[in-house]
A and B are shown apart, each in its own frame.
Chain A
Amino acid sequence: MSNELEFRTCPITGKKVFKATQNLIWINAVTAVVFILIGGIMAFLIAMTRWPAVHLLPAEMFYRFLTAHGLNMLIFWIVFFEIAGLYFGASVLLNSRLAAPRVAWFAYILMLVGAILVNIMVFTGKATVMFSSYVPLKADPIYYLGIILFAVGALIGCGIFFGTLAVAKAEKTYEGSLPLVTFGLSAAAIIAVYTLACGAIIYIPTFLWSIGIIENLDGAMYRLIFWGLGHSSQQINVTAMVSIWYLLGALTVGATPVNEKVCRTAFVLYILFINLAAEHHLLTDPTLSPAHKIVNTSYMMYLAVLASMIHALAIPMAAEVAQRKKGFTKGMFEWLSKAPWGEPGFPAMIFSLIIFGFIGGITGVVYGTEQLSIKSHNTWALTGHFHGTVVGGTTLAFMGLTYYVIPLIFRRELIGKKWATAQPYIFAIGITLLAIGMGGAGTLGSPRRHWDVTFADAIIPFSFDPAVILFTTLAAIGALIAVTGGAIYVGVSVLSVFFGRKMAPNEAKIL
């Protein structure tokens, strides 16, 4: 922080990397990895509990750790990483100094304190409420306070992003329009502001309710606004992930968008319509009218689906064009078979795209249909769906990017490149099996957030179709593989960041 204008020039991209930005990216990304580590340990424990053959934890611990898993993964890992991504997109890609680095550090500290408070409450059993904390299920007031602090910090982080865009424009550090990746990240930041505003609208009254100032909160109204936060934050993930696909395309094969108009239109559709999709959490709720449900999930949401379909064409297309230019023109698929499969970034991008689209996306559109939601609401199939989107999609893309951020931004050589290259394959296989197992068991009725699908303690005896146990076992095997992949990711990135060889200032090798 000594000098906010100190920078170096990246030997590979020629971009200016400001010291203050670099430090902030470093701290946010490293913190994110700490949270994925906690979340990953929880993932192992809860997955082994849901497997009837092992049934590891007692019920109380299971629900507690499930809450911890949801929060540490979905909120803390993802959002810290996204903040790092936003600073990268605004400052590094635009060659600009970061607006107000001190404020950005303040935002970081708010987020960290919030995340720590939440974790303390959850692990001491004072907030076993799942990450959705539906009222009237009540947690300790400190829990809500932690969430509020975290959200305020993240909101300030978005402010820094927009501030940096303004600084870059005023100081003319770039010419013409924003680069596509930065444009996509702007879309993510816009979505984030709406999301965090919903968070404030719902968590402030909930906090007041938990300390007794407000007497009653309507559960259905809570769900409406909570999902304005809870679901829209998934849309931040989608948008950030797609931006990172474009980035990885550029870094791994030198892909250039074929048509800027088409790609940007898809991002604009996200900005305008994707947040309405929060509605699909409410499709089987009482009181809300079919009109509200249909307008919000269908007429508007499918415009966002359309946007994803556009990206799904544009990204592989850009990679294909870039590869063909390099001379890989034999047949239909030489461009693909000669792609850098031996580098972590390319397989991470492609698997992320495939898992997100084919597992997460298709199930999402199906379960988000008013009547079909009746068949899937709150079953384990839902959990399968979002392990396709936010884990196989977003998390895998973030993992792939990390292997480039470490040499490019932190200037450390990766330790264990072979492990890093194998990692996306292992993680992708694990998550695919996990999602299929969850999806199969859930389609047959297996509930989510459930300690014992054998119902040993139930007053009224009930047992599932044996296929449920089969699918649950498949999910558990997938979980073991995915956890291995996650552990490799944490291992490689932590070792490299702290012990990797420091690269010389002009060393232009990425991997």
Chain B
Amino acid sequence: MAEGKDKMSFWQVFYDDISLLFLLGVVIPTVLYIIWGVMEYANAPTYTPPMPAP
């Protein structure tokens, strides 16, 4: 297999690399969805309502 790798398209090698796909598949949603989302909730201001005067 090794000698074939040179002629092999970069993309084919990339697609065959399950570990790399695994890493990307876990990192992308963790960053864009979970971490970003948690940060938004954590940093949201807390509303102190103005009590309407009686």
Given A190-B22, A224-B38, A228-B34, residue A275 in contact with residue B15 (CB < 8 A)? no
**Contact yes or no, B37 A224, CB < 8 A:** yes
Judged by a CB distance under 8 angstroms, whether B48 is at the interface is no
Q: Which residues of B contact A171 (CB under 8 A)?
A: none
Q: 8 Å CB contacts to B: which residues of A292-333?
A: 292, 295-296, 300
A178 neighbours in B (Cβ, 8 Å): 16, 18
Report which residue of A165, A218, A224 has the largest number of chain B beta carbons within 10 angstroms of its beta carbon: A224
**Considering the chains assembled together, what is the distance between the CA atoms of A279 and B32 in angstroms?**
10
Q: Which residues of B contact A282 (CB under 8 A)?
A: 37
Residue A278, interface by CB 8 Å: yes
Instruction: Report whether over half of chain B's contact residues are helix, strand or loop; otherwise say mixed.
Output: helix
Complexed CA–CA distance, A194 and B28 (Å): 10
Instruction: Verify if A494 is at the interface (C-beta below 8 Å from B).
Output: no
A2 touches B (CB below 8 Å)? no
* B26 in the interface (beta carbon within 8 A): yes
A273 at the binding interface (Cβ < 8 Å) = yes
1/0 contact string of B10-52 vs chain A (CB within 8 Å): 0110011010011011101110111011101100100000000
In the assembled complex, the Cα of A190 lies from the Cα of B38 at a distance in Å of: 23
Contact pick for A186, options B1, B18, B30, B36, CB 8 Å: B18
How many residues from A make CB contacts under 8 Å with B? 41
Residue ID in chain A nearest B13 by CB atoms: A177
Whole-angstrom distance between the alpha carbons of A186 and B18 in the complex?
8
- Residue A197, interface by CB 8 Å: yes
Cβ contact within 8 Å between B40 and A276: no
Q: Knowing A268-B21, A287-B40 touch, does A194 contact B30 (C-beta < 8 A)?
A: yes
Q: Are A193 and B22 in contact (CB under 8 A)?
A: yes
Interface residues of A in 145-192 (CB under 8 A from B): 162, 165, 176-178, 183, 186-187, 190-191
Q: How far is the CB of B42 from the nearest CB of chain A, in Å?
A: 8
Given contacts A268-B21, A271-B24, A289-B40, contact A228 B12 (CB under 8 A): no
Q: Which of A220, A268, A289, A292 contacts B15 (CB 8 A)?
A: A268
Could you tell me how many residues of chain B have their Cβ less than 8 Å away from some Cβ of chain A?
A: 23
Known interface pairs A177-B16, A220-B41. Does A278 touch B33 (Cβ–Cβ under 8 Å)? yes
Chain B proximity mask over A258-272: 1 for CB below 8 Å, otherwise 0: 000100110010011
How many angstroms between the C-alpha atoms of A183 and B17 in the bound complex? 11
CA distance A383 to B38 in the complex (A): 27
Query: Residues of A contacting B22 with CB < 8 Å?
Result: 162, 190, 193
A191-B25 CB under 8 A given contacts A186-B18, A289-B40? yes
A288 near B16 with CB under 8 A, answer: no
| From B1, B28, B38, contact of A273 by CB (8 A) | B28
CB under 8 Å from chain B, chain A span 212-227 = 218, 220-221, 224-225
Within 8 A of B (CB), among A190-245: 190-191, 193-194, 197-198, 201, 218, 220-221, 224-225, 228, 232
B41 touches A288 (CB 8 A): yes
Counting chain A CB atoms within 10 Å of each CB, the highest count among B15, B24, B26, B33 belongs to B33
A275-B44 in contact given A221-B38, A224-B38 (Cβ < 8 Å):
no
Closest B residue to A267 using CB positions: B15
How many angstroms from the CA of A191 to the CA of B41 in the assembled complex? 25
Instruction: Specify the chain B residue showing the minimal Cβ separation from A191.
Output: B25
In the bound complex, CA of A233 to CA of B22 (Å): 16
The docked-state distance in angstroms from the alpha carbon of A178 to that of B17 is: 10
Task: Check B15 against A288 for contact (C-beta < 8 Å).
Answer: no
**Residues in chain B near residue A295, CB distance under 8 A:** 32
Chain A residue nearest in CB terms to B39: A292
Contacts of B36 in A (CB 8 A): 292
Q: How far is the CA of A289 from the CA of B41 in the complex (A)?
A: 9
A275 near B29 with CB under 8 A, answer: yes
A507 to chain B, nearest CB (A): 35
Q: Which residues of B pack against A, CB within 8 Å?
A: 1, 11-12, 15-16, 18, 21-22, 24-26, 28-30, 32-34, 36-38, 40-41, 44
On A, residues with C-beta under 8 Å from B are: 162, 165, 176-178, 183, 186-187, 190-191, 193-194, 197-198, 201, 218, 220-221, 224-225, 228, 232, 261, 264-265, 268, 271-273, 275-276, 278-279, 282, 287-289, 292, 295-296, 300
The 9 tightest CB contacts between A and B, nearest first, are: A275-B29, A271-B25, A190-B25, A224-B37, A194-B26, A287-B44, A190-B22, A221-B41, A264-B15
Could you write out 8 A-B pairs with CB less than 8 Å apart? A178-B18, A193-B26, A197-B26, A220-B41, A268-B15, A268-B21, A275-B25, A275-B28
Other than the known A177-B15, A190-B21, A292-B40, what 9 A-B pairs have Cβ atoms closer than 8 Å?
A: A183-B15, A186-B18, A186-B21, A193-B22, A194-B29, A220-B41, A268-B15, A271-B21, A272-B24
